[in-house]
Amino acid sequence: MGRTRRARRMNGELALLHPDAHCELDFRTPLELTVATILSAQTTDRLVNSVTPTLFAKYPTAADYAAADPAEMEGLLKPTGFFRAKSKSVIGLGQALVERYGGEVPGKLADLVTLPGIGRKTANVVLGNAFGVPGISVDTHFQRLVRRWAWTVESNPVKIEHAVGPLIPRKEWTILSHRVIFHGRRVCHARKPACGACALATWCPSYGDGPLDFDVAAKLVKGPDAAARARAAALGLPVRSAEEMVALARDDSA
């Protein structure tokens, strides 16, 4: 099977396996998503979401970030790690937005990547989830999985983005990123992928890198309805709805 055809088959299976795939950072505006994505570097989305309600309430506009006291900002961001660098980035972001874009987050990649703390990955997250502009966000999960699946041999994030793009219809780039990230967090782990409980086994050239025994692999699956997802994979069935999740989970525990 050709690479493009195989990638599209796998994307279709990911859509069934992770129908709840979405951006896990909490936000209401492009500015909030931009700040949250900057803060997500080297930490978890859950931890960022624990910090941002207070942050967003205190700094609702770009001008508020621009005028923020660095020491106070560092105190708020300390739980996220690398708080001094992140504080410098979000304050610099606010200043740049006020000076160059009227306090608004721009909706173009070329503009976003000129802002403090924003590279292509962050820009694509913002474009895809705040502006509806398709983009591939190459984080560590995405990079690991597409190489493991032999969608590309590239290791540079920008080259990975350009290699994967032609394999999948452009309109699906943003949701593809979420599906792959969900799969990386829940099933295809870095050190021990749950191969024996993975619905992508048929198309995965790295099948066997992790345990093949279902009972062993199923214990590695994480996230909501983990037992149901593992059971569906073992039966060769897609999980299409919350109701099916519940039914499969009950069957698995019976």
The reply to whether 45 belongs to the active site is no
Query: Residues 182, 171: contact at Cβ < 8 Å?
Result: no
Structure-block tokens of residue 122: 């962050």
Distance (Å) of CA 174 to CA 57, 74, 135, 164: 28, 31, 5, 12
Q: How many CB atoms lie within 10 A of CB 155?
A: 9
User: In 3-state terms, what secondary structure has residue 222?
Assistant: coil
Query: Residues 151, 143: contact at Cβ < 8 Å?
Result: no
The reply to whether 139 belongs to the active site is yes
CA dist 41 and 135 (Å) reads 18
Q: Which of 139, 209, 219, 252 is catalytic?
A: 139
28 exposure class (CB count in 10 Å sphere: 0-12, 13-18, 19+): exposed
Active-site residue numbers?
121, 139
